[in-house]
Amino acid sequence: MNDIKNLAEFADKKFGQNFLKNSAIVQQIIQAMPNDRLPVAEIGPGLGDLTKELINVRSVTAFEVDKRLCEHLRKSFDEPIRQKALTIQCGDVLEHWGQNQSLLDKPYHLVANLPYYIATNIILRALKDSHCQSILVMVQKEVAEKFSAQSGERVFSALSVLTQRVGYGELLFDVGAENFVPPPKVTSATLLIKKQRSEDDPEFEDFLKVAFKQPRKKLSKNLAVRFEKDKIEALFLQLDIESNIRPHEATTDIYCHLYNELTKDNVNGREINISRRNKSRNAQK
């Protein structure tokens, strides 16, 4: 990039700017992309190193908040923009991506080296977005571990359950700080989430917050803060769940069962399920 002399000085901390400077890693990301022709949404194209490779294989819509970078991208990618291989949306992606809306108006894959300060928020939005088919992102390693953990692992969390409820998450490879300018203080990792469907169920998220509130306590104790103790005990017996189980030891299936049973309401003597009543499930095509 000719017009930026010193990248480390140019980088704006408030936008989480750590530019990936290892082209081999960019290639590894491209190789890990799902094998189809769907368009790509890229969040935070930065200087365009990943964008340049993405437009060789897909049509790309890139969302960048930093006006200086938008200007730079529009200059460097003049031709692909004119040919509609690339669209640049300048502004905060979270403002563009309203709640209950899709980031693109057709099925797409999310591919990005995400700004760390909003990475979790963005992945959660993408899990809910019915047009988003998969999420391939570079994030802080701890975040990638949480989204991809399996039941029984110490880091299995509400984020892991939300991922498994709609698909499958996998930590593909670590990326050391030395691959970025300026280097971040943490190790990064590439995370791939393949979605089978989408779901936006705030009550289930709320239920998981209760279940994982004190991660090292017994799951039954956490749940007792919100639900009747007798009901929890009966359910644990019925579902053959060990009474001492800790939150990270339960499976996603168990959480779904517990949620369905514990949030059953009794209205006019008829059992209805709050979750089924309120949730908006979008079957994925």
Kindly identify the residues of this chain, within the stretch 115-154, that bind ligand SAM according to CB under 6 A: 115, 118
Nearer to ligand SAM, 135 or 166 (CB): 135
Nearer to ligand SAM, 118 or 189 (CB): 118
Q: Which one, of 96, 152, 155, lies nearest residue 129 by Cα?
A: 96
- The radius of gyration computed from the CA coordinates of the chain, to the nearest angstrom, equals 21
The tokens describing 33, both together, are 């992309």
Q: Is 220 in the site for ligand SAM (CB under 6 A)?
A: no
Quickly tell me which residue has 């690339």 as its tokens.
86
Nearer to ligand SAM, 115 or 247 (CB): 115
**Which residue from 102, 113, 130, 133 is in contact with ligand SAM, where contact means CB under 6 A?**
113
Nearer to ligand SAM, 92 or 228 (CB): 92
In the chain, the DSSP E strands lie at 19-20, 40-43, 60-64, 86-90, 108-113, 132-140, 167-175, 180-181, 188-195, 198-200, 264-267, 270-273, 280-282
Nearer to ligand SAM, 134 or 188 (CB): 188
Q: Is 92 in the site for ligand SAM (CB under 6 A)?
A: yes
Q: DSSP secondary-structure letter at 247?
A: G
Residue number with the smallest Cβ distance to ligand SAM: 44
Kindly identify the residues of this chain, within the stretch 29-68, that bind ligand SAM according to CB under 6 A: 43-47, 49-50, 63-66
**Nearest distance, CB of residue 21 and ligand SAM, angstroms:** 7
Binding footprint of ligand SAM, residue count (CB under 6 A): 24
Contacts of 71 (CB under 8 A, 6+ apart): none
Which listed range, 14-22, 154-162, 171-179, 234-242, lies at the site for ligand SAM (CB under 6 A)? 14-22
Q: Is 17 in the site for ligand SAM (CB under 6 A)?
A: yes
Contacts of 30 (CB under 8 A, 6+ apart): 53, 54, 57
Q: How far apart are CA 64 and CA 70, in angstroms?
A: 6
**Which residue from 55, 60, 70, 93 is in contact with ligand SAM, where contact means CB under 6 A?**
93
**Which residue from 10, 18, 134, 165 is in contact with ligand SAM, where contact means CB under 6 A?**
18
Q: Is 71 in the site for ligand SAM (CB under 6 A)?
A: no
Q: Is 77 exposed, middle or buried (0-12, 13-18, 19+ CB in 10 A)?
A: buried
The tokens describing 74, both together, are 């529009």
Q: DSSP secondary-structure letter at 117?
A: G
**Nearest distance, CB of residue 23 and ligand SAM, angstroms:** 11
- Which SS3 state, helix, strand or coil, does residue 283 take? coil
**Which residue from 10, 16, 61, 86 is in contact with ligand SAM, where contact means CB under 6 A?**
16
Residues near ligand SAM (CB under 6 A) are 15-20, 43-47, 49-50, 63-66, 69, 92-94, 113, 115, 118
